[in-house]
A = this chain, B = another copy of it.
Amino acid sequence: MERVTLLAGGVGGARLAHGLDLALRPSFDEPTPGTNPAGPRHPESGQAASSRHPLTVVVNVGDDTELHGLWVSPDIDTVLYTLAGLNDEERGWGLRGESYATLEQMARLGEDTWFTLGDRDLATHIVRTARLRSGTPLSEVTAQVARSLGVRPTIVPVTDDPLATMVDTPSGRLGFQEYFVGHQHADEVLALHFEGAEVARPAPGVIDALRDAELVLLAPSNPFLSIDPVLVVPGVREALTGTAARRIAVSPIVGGAAIKGPAAQILESLGHEVSALGVARLYTGLVDLMCIDERDVHLADPIADLGFEVMVTDTIMGSPQGRERLARELLGNPA
Q: How many copies does the complex hold?
A: 2
A–B complex contacts, Cβ < 8 Å, 17 sampled = A69-B126, A69-B129, A69-B130, A69-B133, A101-B101, A101-B118, A102-B102, A102-B126, A103-B123, A104-B120, A105-B123, A105-B124, A109-B148, A110-B144, A110-B148, A119-B119, A122-B126
- Cα A68 to Cα B133 in complex, Å, equals 10
A104 to B149, CA, bound (A): 13
Is the interface on chain A under 10, 10 to 19, 20 to 34, or 35 or more residues? 20 to 34
Q: What CA separation (Å) do A109 and B145 show in the bound complex?
A: 6
A residues engaging B (CB < 8 A)?
68-70, 99, 101-106, 108-111, 118-120, 122-124, 126-127, 129-130, 133-134, 144-145, 148-149
- Across the interface, do A68 and B111 meet the contact criterion of CB distance under 8 Å? no
Interface of A, helix, strand, loop or mixed by DSSP? helix
Q: Are B127 and A109 in contact (CB under 8 A)?
A: yes
Q: Given A99-B99, A99-B119, A119-B99, verify A68-B105 contact (CB < 8 Å).
A: no
- Docked-complex contact B102 and A119, CB < 8 angstroms: yes
Residue of B69, B70, B126, B134 touching A106 (CB-CB under 8 A) = B126
Would you call B102 and A120 a contact (CB within 8 A)? yes
Also in contact, A105 and B120, with CB within 8 A (given A110-B144, A110-B148, A148-B110): yes
